[in-house]
Structure 1
Amino acid sequence: MSAANEAVAVAAHGEATGQPGGRSAQKDQKDKAGKTVKRLRAPAAKSVGWALVQAARLHRARVGDRLAELDLFAGQEQVVQALAAAGSMTMGDLAATLRVRPPTASKTISRLAALGFVERRAEAGDGRIVRVRLTETGLAKAAAIERIWDEVEAELLEDFDNKERRRLRKLLRRVARNLAEAAGVSGHEEADSEIDGEADDEEEALLGPGASDAVGQSS
């Protein structure tokens, strides 16, 4: 069973029983308290967080299956994509971009370097600073990753019109900001206007209502 299919099975069973992995809340309470208690409502019923976790799990599994074809594990592609966009980065910048601890970023870079996807070089004039960049092989992997993300994105957003896609992106970024602030996590973040901003709204206004949806369907 592939990771994606396994994730589907776990998500479906979890929703049916109200617990991850299919263990019922009622059975757990009976075992611990020795008596019958009121069955807990499945968190999937109204919980945004539960729905978000299930969607993220399925997305990660789907991308992971595709990345395995490139000899990559889910999560490593984010490093490759970040380096492809920046050209080169210090370990500190990379860790901040990915919102992980520097040791975690360093360990991932070591694994990618062993595969020949990245290389590390000391900063000219300051050997204490190490910059990381993609090799030619890594650049080819980055292009393949981009294709995979585009294909899975199309699966993820099937039947969504352009307006719904922009709205969903904005809402998810707000969710991420809220959780980051609550956890005291900081890092690089693109402003909404840089991705979905005024240019899109102005173009839609000029073309008229529904025009952007028609463009998205015809592309």
Structure 2
Amino acid sequence: MSATANEALATTGKGADKGSKADQAKGAEKGAEKGADKTVKRLRPPAAKSVGWALVQAARLHRARVGDRLAALDLFAGQEQVVQALAAAGSMTMGDLAATLRVRPPTASKTISRLAALGFVERRAEAGDGRIVRVRLTETGMAKAAAIERIWNEVEAELLEGFDNKERRRLRKLLRKVARSLAEAAGVTGHEADHEMDGEGDDDEADALLGPSAADGVATAP
């Protein structure tokens, strides 16, 4: 075979090697893309089975509904809980308020400062111990509390439409259990709700009589 022919074969071989490597690289890229596609396809929407996702969505929508109405009262969503707590208790220390709302004391203190600037609350030193400060609503704050209660009841009706009384009590109990678990995980102390006021003790007895399967059926998510 002539030298020219050998050179031609060598050149062809190099071209084939380059083409083969290029094809291999393209194949690897396509394989990686397919693998990525499969990974993406395996991911499920967070709402598929996540209790937390459903809870966050419900809480966000509830906050928005309440927030729209609170704006007319010069309040932001979250501040109404402080007003409601003070309206129910009369007066509270900052520590008690933080425990009731399950927030850290600095968070409660900032909210109280903002409400005080609006003239909704007032702070007074405890008689006999100036180190303890008690917070209570002003007359303006009490009027706001009445308006907040109306707003809360309106949104509560929207929230629980289609639920019977037993489902409402069961849902409330489960959400309190969720809040307690998350508070413990975060190291935030809080006061337990008064179960006797809303008859949840009766629910406990009914669940015990019905048995685990029947009781669990009431709380099954749709």
So what's the TM-score if we normalise by structure 1?
0.72
Letter in 1 for 2:98: A
Contact 1:118 / 1:132 at 8 angstroms: preserved in 2? yes
Letter in 1 for 2:114: R
Contact 1:170 / 1:192 at 8 angstroms: preserved in 2? no
The yes-or-no answer on 1:186 pairing with 2:189 is yes
Superposed CA deviations along residues 101-124 of structure 1, whole A, max 9, x for unmatched, are 222111111111111101111111
How far 1:49 moved relative to its partner?
1.2
1:45-124 mapped onto 2 (5 Å cutoff): 45-124=48-127
The yes-or-no answer on 1:128 pairing with 2:128 is no
Letter in 2 for 1:78: Q
Superposed CA deviations along residues 92-149 of structure 1, whole A, max 9, x for unmatched, are 1111211222221111111111111011111112222111110000000001101111
The yes-or-no answer on 1:154 pairing with 2:154 is no
User: 4+ runs of 1 displaced by more than 4 Å?
Assistant: 198-202
Contact 1:119 / 1:135 at 8 angstroms: preserved in 2? yes
SS of 2:134 mapped into structure 1: strand
So what's the TM-score if we normalise by structure 2?
0.71
Q: How many Å separate the matches in 1 of 2:119 and 2:172?
A: 34
The yes-or-no answer on 1:42 pairing with 2:42 is no
Q: How many Å separate the matches in 2 of 1:178 and 1:129?
A: 30
Letter in 2 for 1:98: L
Letter in 1 for 2:155: V
- 5+ residue gaps, structure 2: 1-31, 206-222
Letter in 2 for 1:131: R
Superposed CA deviations along residues 149-201 of structure 1, whole A, max 9, x for unmatched, are 10000000111111111111111112122222223322111154442334679
Letter in 2 for 1:42: P
Counterparts in 2 of 1:201 and 1:51: CA distance versus 1, 3 Å? closer
Contact 2:100 / 2:191 at 8 angstroms: preserved in 1? yes
How far 1:52 moved relative to its partner?
0.8
Match of 1:27 in 2: none
Contact 2:169 / 2:200 at 8 angstroms: preserved in 1? no
Q: How many Å separate the matches in 1 of 2:149 and 2:194?
A: 21
- 5+ residue gaps, structure 1: 1-33, 203-219
What number of residue pairs does the alignment pair up?
Answer: 170
| Higher-Rg member (1/2) | 2
Match of 1:13 in 2: none
Contact 1:62 / 1:152 at 8 angstroms: preserved in 2? yes
Once the two structures are aligned, what percentage of the paired residues are identical?
86
Root-mean-square deviation (CA, aligned residues, Å) is 2.1
Q: How many Å separate the matches in 1 of 2:129 and 2:65?
A: 42
